[in-house]
Amino acid sequence: MPPIIFRKGLDMKAAVAGQLAAAYHSTVIEEFRAAGYVRTSGRLTIHLAREFGFCYGVDRAVDYAY
Please compute Rg for the chain using Cα positions: 18
Per-residue pLDDT of the chain (66 residues; tens, 9 = 90+): 677 665 665 677 777 778 877 777 788 888 888 999 999 999 999 998 888 777 888 877 877 777
For 1-22, b/e burial (b = at least 16 CB within 10 A) is eeeeeeeeeeeeeeeeeeeeee
How far apart CA 47 and CA 63 sit, in angstroms, is: 29
Domain range annotation of the chain: 13-65
pLDDT value for 9: 59
How far apart CA 66 and CA 57 sit, in angstroms, is: 14
For 10, residues 6+ apart whose C-beta sits below 8 A from its C-beta are 63, 64, 66
Residue type, 25: H
